[in-house]
Structure 1
Amino acid sequence: MEIKEQLRELEEKVGLGLKEAYRKMAEFKKKNNSPLIVSRNGKEVSIPASEILPTTNAKNP
């Protein structure tokens, strides 16, 4: 297996892991009615639990 192939597989696994982690975090926040705190343009923003999306908008390369 070539290094490029290994890196591509690793990148895919990491991406899937991050998406699953986000899904679990969103589920937890909604269950506990807890806001999601994020940074936008260097400022802290609170997203109410009811507005947290169940999936990300991230695109696979």
Structure 2
Amino acid sequence: MTKDEKYLELKKKIIFGLEKTLENVLEFKRQKNSELVIMRGDEIVKIKPEDFHKL
């Protein structure tokens, strides 16, 4: 396995982990009926659980 292949494999694992973490956070926020607070550009935005599908 070349250095580039190792890098791509590691990148895939990191992205997969981030996606799973996002899914878990969204599910937790839905269960608690709590808003998700994110940054969009220079603004802090609160998103209601029913609007998570727009992400």
Question: TM-score, normalized by length of structure 1?
Answer: 0.82
Higher relative contact order (CA 8 A, sep 6+): 1
Query: Structure 1: which 5+ residue stretches go unaligned?
Result: 57-61
Query: Structure 2: which 5+ residue stretches go unaligned?
Result: none
User: 4+ residue stretches of structure 1 with deviation over 2 A?
Assistant: none
Query: How big is the shift at 1:32?
Result: 0.2
Q: Which has a greater percent of helix?
A: 2
Q: CA RMSD in A?
A: 1.1
Q: % of aligned pairs identical? A: 30
Can you list the C-alpha shifts for 1:1-60, whole angstroms capped at 9, x where unaligned?
11000000000000110100000000000000000001112111100011113xx6xxxx
Report matched runs for 1:15-26 at 5 Å.
15-26=15-26
